[in-house]
Structure 1
Amino acid sequence: MKQLQPFKIDVSNELLNDLSARLKHTRWTDEPENAGWNYGTNPQYLRELVAYWQQSFDWRKQEALLNSFPQFITNIDGTDIHFIYIKGKGSNTRPLILTHEWPDSFFRFYKVIPMLTDAFDLVIPSMPGYGFSGHVATTSENAGHLWAKLMTEVLGYTHFLAAGDFAVTTALAQNYPAQVQAIHLTDTGYPNGTEDWSTMSPAEQQFGQFIQGWWFMEGAFNMIQSTKPQTLGYALNDSPVGLASWILEKFYAWSDTKGNIENSFTKDELLTNIMIYWVSSTINTAIRRYLEDARVMFGEHGPKPVPRTEVPTAVSIFPADSNTPEEWAARRVNLKRFTKLPKGGRFAALEVPELYAKELKDAFAAIA
């Protein structure tokens, strides 16, 4: 196993003072009357959160929380990779790498760590271009290659399990089936226009219609991040309130909030995730991953069929996320276990940690 460099988050007072000044001098835009979340981020809630950010939020407390987990930096193929690494309790634990998505961070998993260490050695990296990893935008497939080297060459495992982000986790499993014993997903991707819909079940066709409608109503973020992310990056990297607005709306829309975002997340949790992007100045490289992936998926001749993942796979569907039918999951992966949960959404590990942790344990016990 290669030598690991211990890592501690230590944000300078100068950066925090600059943030305080920027928040104080926010130039607020006009707001539709009684807008709620119907125009995007709720203006009333954003103002409330920013007031809390200025007056009550304690970054040093959250920094200490993050630093309570053992963190490391290693360099793989020229890219610095930041990760949490916690050996499990006992002699029968199995290595598990957990990959976050956008617009969250490695912080997504902080609640489930103590729930999983009785069964797993946990490896929780920051994606390249996110948080405290190197400021390099890369494809999901390349992230999978980096994860394989992290697990085998850096940490010395011959076999391991993987869960989290669909694109990274399936790329990892497709390229390293001899090392990846099984994977766990909370979605199996979406139609991209290459499918033969005459072969689809009624449930799959209904799912396809839902996704098509979703793209028209909710997909603008993906379109800009997949085509012109640099244009957006300047604004998000310069304005903390702009960054918060862009991220908050997704946490609300993709979670089981039932009309109140704080049914799912505390203000401290929302702001800690936002702060990881702010203090590391990585929102631009994070959103550029969408364009890097789009260039691979579409190329010069339109979309390419998504390869099926043959590694044994468990899929857990949370109701506020996409309502993936079992037939679609079985079409995309080697489906060994499929469950639908009563609550939760895209950020299930943070929103409903007990359910998510139990799903991981039950899934991997059953299929690997």
Structure 2
Amino acid sequence: MTTPTMISPYRIEIPQADLEDLAARLARTRWPDELPDVGWSYGTPTSYLKELADYWATGFDWRAAESRLNAHPQFLADIDGTRLHFRHVRSADPAAIPLLLIHGWPFADFSALIEPLTDPARHGGGPAFHLIIPTLPGFGFSGPHRRPGDGAVERSAELLARLMGELGYDRYLAHGGDAGSFIAPQLGRIDTGHVLGVHVNDPITIPGQDEDGSAYDERDRQRLAKLQQWGQRDTSAYAGSHGRPQTLGNGLNDSPAGLLSWVIEIVHTYIDPAKDLPEQAMDRDRLLTEISVLWFTGTIGSSMALYKESDVWGTEFANSGVPTGIAVFPSGTSIRAVAERQHTVVRWTEYDRGGHFAAMEAPDLLIEDLRAFAAGLA
């Protein structure tokens, strides 16, 4: 039995004491030594992290970031006891298409997409969208989840389907990257009658156990080799580590320098390979805004629960039949042969810049692809 969904307006207001505590903790960081001339091969370099942490403590303006976050309407929904924070930005265009933007781990800042997609007349044209931008359970202002299973991507899909119904959207599009690239297609499977189309960037495509790639074309064989190389390197160890979210959470929730180091190393791994540092791939203040949200809300541990609770790793997914658009960026390993088996792919586009965090690294390209995909469905 389901209970009525309660939705109420929300505004971000971090207490000043929390800002002062963050600065004090960063100032007291006990830094380790680092080996010379190893770059990022041993993880986040201490020398680099010191500079970034100092900027976070003394140069980054949280209040300006908070004001930007509060610039668009946001709400809290209680759906069967699960708290869900979301932004809801409606276009003035009466023909606007509802579009659900779904982030992954550890975050995705969709702010660069909001004005162009809701007000295309002032931003290059194209279809207009009503945007629904949720914060997944266990992340940020949705707060730490309180029940095992609430972090699963399958659960997120169920909650988002409920939310779209509560908001009165009978037909909608869903876009996602990273974990969102699992959740958006899952919406197509469980809410098929309401999902107009699914769009994802760099979907994680894991071949079947008996699939050796011999039937793939050359481009897919290259991506398979890249995926296998990634799986053999220690850079893939983070996903396994997230399977023990409480262990990591105990430390990272207490140390902002530790939290920064962990997140930054993973961001560095997946940015556009043509970039050397995270701030070369995306705006440094936007990046620190997202990390600050994880810190202030105490959700770094619970955000990792999706790795433990989700039953999606290596799964052979059923094709929902929902039209699907896929955008692939240089850091991606998406295998087209697998994607086309599991999805009804009507658009496949490969870009020569951008990375895993496309909404923050190459928002112009993502906007272009979303517009073209939606127009193609008309």
Q: TM-score, normalised by structure 1?
A: 0.92
Q: Does 1:310 align with 2:313?
A: no
Please point out which of 166, 177, 191 is paired with 2:192. Answer: 177
CA distance in 1, matches of 2:91, 2:366: 18
Q: Does 1:258 align with 2:267?
A: no
Please point out which of 126, 131, 137 is paired with 2:135. Answer: 126
Deviations 1:60-101 (A, max 9, x none): 111111001111111111111110101112111010000010
Unpaired segments of 5 or more residues in structure 1? none
Structure 2 vs 1, CA of residues 189 and 342 (structure 1 numbering), >3 Å: closer, same or farther?
same
Please point out which of 238, 249, 252 is paired with 1:221. Answer: 238
1:29 maps to a residue whose letter is: P
Q: Does 1:144 align with 2:153?
A: no
Deviations 1:139-159 (A, max 9, x none): 10110010001001x201111
The range that moved more, 89-98 or 324-333, is 324-333
Deviations 1:311-365 (A, max 9, x none): 100001011222x243232122100010111200111111111111111111111
Q: Is the 8 A contact 2:205 2:335 kept in 1?
A: no
**Aligned pairs, number:** 357
The range that moved more, 34-43 or 198-207, is 198-207
1:124 maps to a residue whose letter is: I
Q: Which residue of 2 aligns with 1:208?
A: 224
Q: Is the 8 A contact 2:34 2:45 kept in 1?
A: no
Q: Does 1:77 align with 2:80?
A: yes
Q: Is the 8 A contact 2:224 2:335 kept in 1?
A: no
Deviations 1:269-324 (A, max 9, x none): 1210100100000011100110001xx347xxxx64333342100001011222x2
Q: Which residue of 1 aligns with 2:309?
A: 292
1:340 maps to a residue whose letter is: E
Q: Which residue of 2 aligns with 1:135?
A: 144
Offset at 1:189?
A: 2.0
Q: Is the 8 A contact 2:78 2:84 kept in 1?
A: yes
Q: Which residue of 2 aligns with 1:356?
A: 366
Structure 2 vs 1, CA of residues 195 and 139 (structure 1 numbering), >3 Å: closer, same or farther?
farther
CA distance in 2, matches of 1:128, 1:7: 16
Offset at 1:30?
A: 1.4
Q: Which residue of 1 aligns with 2:169?
A: 157
Structure 2 vs 1, CA of residues 42 and 89 (structure 1 numbering), >3 Å: closer, same or farther?
farther
Q: Which residue of 2 aligns with 1:11?
A: 14
Q: Does 1:277 align with 2:290?
A: no
The range that moved more, 56-65 or 327-336, is 327-336
Offset at 1:115?
A: 1.0
1:286 maps to a residue whose letter is: S
CA distance in 1, matches of 2:207, 2:71: 42
CA distance in 2, matches of 1:331, 1:42: 41
What SS does structure 2 have at the residue aligned with 1:243?
helix
Offset at 1:199?
A: 7.0
Q: Which residue of 2 aligns with 1:95?
A: 98
The range that moved more, 48-57 or 35-44, is 35-44
What SS does structure 2 have at the residue aligned with 1:74?
strand
CA distance in 2, matches of 1:134, 1:262: 27
Offset at 1:53?
A: 1.2
Please point out which of 225, 246, 261 is paired with 1:230. Answer: 246
Q: Is the 8 A contact 1:194 1:305 kept in 2?
A: no
The range that moved more, 196-205 or 340-349, is 196-205
Q: Which residue of 2 aligns with 1:244?
A: 260
What SS does structure 2 have at the residue aligned with 1:366?
helix
CA distance in 2, matches of 1:200, 1:170: 25
Q: Is the 8 A contact 2:271 2:354 kept in 1?
A: yes
What SS does structure 2 have at the residue aligned with 1:191?
coil
Structure 2 vs 1, CA of residues 225 and 200 (structure 1 numbering), >3 Å: closer, same or farther?
farther
Offset at 1:29?
A: 1.1
Q: Does 1:366 align with 2:376?
A: yes
What SS does structure 2 have at the residue aligned with 1:57?
coil
Structure 2 vs 1, CA of residues 271 and 64 (structure 1 numbering), >3 Å: closer, same or farther?
same
Q: Does 1:188 align with 2:203?
A: yes
Offset at 1:195?
A: 4.7
CA distance in 1, matches of 2:268, 2:320: 30
Q: Is the 8 A contact 1:264 1:351 kept in 2?
A: yes
Cα RMSD, aligned residues only: 1.9
Q: Is the 8 A contact 1:2 1:155 kept in 2?
A: no
Offset at 1:125?
A: 0.5
Q: Which residue of 2 aligns with 1:44?
A: 47
CA distance in 1, matches of 2:5, 2:80: 14
